[in-house]
Amino acid sequence: MFVRKSYQHKLKEWSAEQLIRAFQHTGDQQYFNALFSRYLHLVYYTTRNFLEDREECRDVVMQVFAKIFQQLQQQKEVHSFGNWLYTLTRNECISKRRSSDKQSLRFEAALQQWQEEPAENPDSGAQMVSATDRETEDLVQAAMLQLDECQRICLELFFFQKKSYREIADITSFTENQVKSFLQNGKRRLRQLLAPAMAREGKTST
C-alpha cells in the first residue's frame, strides 16, 4: 500500500506528456487516471465560461475525457497537451451550446476591450457581459474562427476566462512574449475582419 501511494505521488511530478507516453506505451489506465485527476477541475472551470447549465458542463467534461481516452488509445501524437485540451474543451462547449442554445458568449463587451491594448490584468476595463445582439455575436464568432488558432486561443483565454499572460503561457506552453504577440496580432486581425460589418452598421444608423 505504501509503495503504491509513493508511486502515485511520483506520478504527480510527471508532465502531461510523460503520462501520455506511458499510457500509450503500456496501456496502463493509472497514467490516464493521473491526467484525469490533474485536469478535471480545469476542464470543468473552462466549461463554466461557455455554458450556464451545470449539468451540461458535467456532460461536456465527460465527453472531453472520453475523446481524450479514445484518441490516446489510437496513439494520437500530442505535442502540447494544455493547448490541445483547451481546444477540445472549447469545441465541445460550442457544440453543446449550439445544440441547446441556452447561453450567449460574451462578445460585445470584449469588442469594447479590444479597442485598447490589453493590460496584464484582464479584469481592467469593461466587464464581460452576455451579448444581447445575436447578429453581432454571430459576426464576431465567425471572425474568431478565421483567426490563427494560436491567436484565437490566447484571445479567448485572456478576455473570456480573464487569464493573465503568465497563466496563458502555463496553459498553452507559449512564452509570455508569444502570448503578447498573439493577442496584439489577433486583435488587429479581428478588427480587419469586422471592419466591413461595422462600416455597414455605421451607415444604417446615420
CATH code for position 24? 1.10.1740.10
> Is residue 98 located within the same domain as residue 113?
no
**Contact indicator for 32, 72 with CB cutoff of 8 Å:** yes
3-state secondary structure 119-156: CCCCCCCCCCCCCCCHHHHHHHHHHHHCCCHHHHHHHH
* Dihedral angle over CA of 170, 116, 136, 139, nearest 10: -60
Nearest Cα residue to 159 out of 136, 134, 131, 195: 131
- What is the per-residue pLDDT across 77-99, written as a single tens digit (0 to 9) for each? 888 888 899 989 988 988 887 77
For the chain, the domain total comes to 2
Q: Stretch 114-135: mean pLDDT, rounded? A: 43
Same domain, 139 and 154: yes
Type of residue found at 47: T
Predicted pLDDT of residue 135: 58
| Residue pair 135/149 in contact by the 8 Å Cβ criterion | no
Query: Do 111 and 196 have their domain in common?
Result: yes
Q: Assign residue 144 the CATH number of its domain.
A: 1.10.10.10
Same domain membership, residue 189 and residue 92: no
* DSSP label of 14: S
* 37 and 25 together in one domain: yes
More confident of the two residues 103 and 193: 193
Domain boundary among 48, 82, 103: 103
Same structural domain, 14 and 90 = yes
CB atoms within 10 A of CB 47: 24
Q: Which of 103, 119, 148 is the last residue of a domain?
A: 103
On whether both 176 and 202 belong to a single domain, the answer is: yes
Q: What is the largest CA-CA distance in the chain?
A: 75
pLDDT at 172 over 60: yes
Residue 180, domain extent? 104-206
- Provide the 10 A C-beta neighbour count for residue 65: 19
Residues 154-166 have a mean pLDDT of 83
Structure pTM?
A: 0.52
**For 170-192, what is the mean pLDDT?**
88
Residue 109 sits in the same domain as residue 176: yes
Same domain flag for 73 and 145: no
Q: Write down the pLDDT at residue 123.
A: 43
Cβ-contact 20, 81 below 8 angstroms: yes
Position 26 scores a pLDDT of 93
pLDDT of residue 75: 87
State the first-to-last Cα distance of the chain, in angstroms, to the nearest integer. 75
CB 90 within 8 A of CB 144: no
Residue with grid cell 496584464, as numbered in its chain: 120
